[in-house]
Amino acid sequence: MTTPTTTPPSADELLAACTRFLGGHGHRSAETVLAEIRDELGEVKTDRYGTGGVVAELESEVAALLAKPAAVFMPSGTMAQQIALRVHADRTGRDVVFWHPTSHPELHEDQALARLHRLNPRPIGDARRLLTIEDLQGVAEYAAVLLLELPQREIGGQLPAWDDLVAQTELARSHGTARHLDGARLLECLPFYAKTAAEVAELFDSVYISLYKGLGGLAGAVLAGDDQLVAEAREWRHRHGGNMFAMWPYAAAGLVGLRRRAPLMPRYVEHARAVCAELATIDGVTVVPDPPVTNMAHLYLLTDRDGFAAATRALAMEDKVWTWSHLGTADTPDRVVVELTVGDATLVWTPEEAREVVAGLLERAGARSNLTAGRSGTRPVCVAGHRARRSNSSRVALEQTLGAAGEVLVLADSSDLGFEGVDEIVEALATGRAERAIEMLLVHIVGVASDDVAAFRSSPRWPVFVAGVPLVVREARVEHGWVYEPSMFDGITAPTVFLAGSESSQALREATERAVAAISGARVRVLDGYGHLATRTDPALVAGIIRDTLSI
């Protein structure tokens, strides 16, 4: 009988299947976007190579919003900024551009300004904090243009005080340096400054805003400035290959966002502060900045990266809740960074509900990180089902049967299956037989009874385990050559608890006893009525024991 296979869903497939979203405006279908355009704009007039129609309408509204003489639609913010900086450089006859070390052109545009326009970026200041007037005063040369990003996204969306912003732009003006605003999220900053968009834009010679970030459009940007700058920018748009035959779909969606979501920015910011105030009460969560000054913040999470990624994936699969797919890197290896941006989708969550989601993700991920960190050191270790049997020459594979539902660290004797057996699991995965690979792993390596595996297959957690099986096989291959020595446990000084099922096989019970004997002060917690898969059949019970152990 052929065993049906299950291919783990991709991130895009998971996103499309989710029904609730913690951040931004959620996943919006083409039908939803088109319906918004029809409802807001009615009949949309098309453009031709960016001239006329809804494109001109959008450009006119943005120019008025920013109190600039003219504006031009751009297919992307990357294109808009490169063009603005090039025009300013040509005007001043200089080739140096000042910007913060974490600015978008520095990190995310593949050195385009230097490669395409032969300009010389000079990052100013410290990447971990906002640019200051002292940073600028410490530079002797004069630049063609100073680019300021509001808010500074890569450090959590921080904003300089209004007086500091004025001082920096005035210093640039006094040096004959043009001032350009990366205002991709400008409208999100207005509640903090208690200023209009025009008042902020007045400090700058050119401004760009994004149409798809806070405004929730499809793509694109608008660059605003004086008439001559915008006229030159149109020519540069053509040179960049951005003069598309029809730009109206992007302009229409952007115009809808401008009209519908720009007025909601104060509400987004207020909700961001309320949500982050709740999240800051969770152990292991640091909010930056605290409180948020826009509708975004970075959350520094004291957790295991792989475990947290698996937890977010499991939440999406099991509960149809989308949180994060991208995890940033913190300064220390024990933390990950995620970005929370509040939009339409976030408004439906109460701060308490958002706290419950994040705390739940950390709890899921914590089972993995606590176990891994506790193998040697002072943190408590809670281990289930150790199978360290036979002699010192037995080969033991470290199987982290974690996947997306990761809860327990398992040591398993692989001598029954052999290295070729691990290769068979890899081959099964490569040929799309993920479920067969899991059956082989559980039965032949971990030692789970076939009846238990059959029961597990019928549980709702089975697809979650399927999604995480590549991690299991990788660890099996890496650790296959490890020779078990009881002395290896000598370095463990943390309080250690082994979980054993009363219905587990005799071999597993004996393996647990041997492992307990090898670790000083270790103890056993027997789960009455449970077998080897208690972590799957009753994860709440196991999680409770782990929490109790970690509180020692």
Render pLDDT for 51-67 as a digit per residue (tens, 0 to 9). Answer: 999 999 999 999 999 99
Q: Of 213, 231, 260, which residue sits at a domain end? A: 260
CATH of the domain at 518: 3.40.50.1820
98/214 same-domain check: yes
pLDDT by residue (tens digit) across 491-533? 787 778 888 888 776 767 777 887 888 888 888 888 887 776 6
309/424 same-domain check: no
172/256 same-domain check: yes
Which range marks the domain in which residue 215 is found?
Answer: 30-260
Sign of the alpha-carbon dihedral angle for 532, 480, 477, 11? positive
292/395 same-domain check: no
- Pairing outcome for strands 221-225 and 70-74: antiparallel
Supply the DSSP string of 121-140, one letter for each residue.
EEE-S-TTS---HHHHHT--
**Alpha carbons 384 and 400: distance in angstroms, whole number:** 11
CATH of the domain at 298: 3.90.1150.10
**Alpha carbons 262 and 376: distance in angstroms, whole number:** 53
Question: What is the chain's mean pLDDT, rounded?
Answer: 83
How large is the average pLDDT for residues 256-272? 97
CB under 8 Å to 219, separation ≥6 — which residues? 75, 76, 211, 212, 250
Q: What is the dihedral of CA 158, 161, 167, 168, to 10 degrees?
A: 0
If DSSP codes are grouped into helix, strand and coil, which group holds residue 298? strand
332/391 same-domain check: no
Judged against a pLDDT cut of 90, whether residue 446 lies above it is answered with no
Q: Write down the residue that tokens 């587990």 correspond to.
A: 504
Model confidence at 426, in pLDDT bands (50, 70, 90)? low
55/204 same-domain check: yes
The total number of structural domains that make up the chain: 3
- Pairing outcome for strands 178-182 and 70-74: unpaired
Tell me, what's the pLDDT at 282?
A: 95
If DSSP codes are grouped into helix, strand and coil, which group holds residue 329? strand
Q: Of 236, 260, 284, which residue sits at a domain end? A: 260
Q: Write down the residue that tokens 């509001």 correspond to.
A: 150
Sign of the alpha-carbon dihedral angle for 16, 17, 20, 21? negative
CB under 8 Å to 450, separation ≥6 — which residues? 443
Supply the DSSP string of 214-236, one letter for each residue.
TT--SS-EEEEE-HHHHHHHHHH
Tell me, what's the pLDDT at 471?
A: 54
Tokens of 96: 């140096």
71/167 same-domain check: yes
Residue 288: inside a domain, yes or no?
A: yes
Judged against a pLDDT cut of 60, whether residue 419 lies above it is answered with no
106/250 same-domain check: yes
214/312 same-domain check: no
Tell me, what's the pLDDT at 415?
A: 38
Residue 410: inside a domain, yes or no?
A: yes
60/38 same-domain check: yes
Q: Using a pLDDT cut of 70, give the percent of the chain over it.
A: 79
- Stretch among 86-100, 154-168, 285-299, 456-470 having the lowest mean pLDDT: 456-470
Using CA atoms, how far residue 368 sits from 306, 381, 395, 429, 462, in Å, is 9, 11, 23, 23, 18
Q: Of 260, 277, 306, which residue sits at a domain end? A: 260
Neighbouring-strand partners of residue 24 = 342
Query: Between these two residues, 525 and 103, which has the higher pLDDT value?
Result: 103
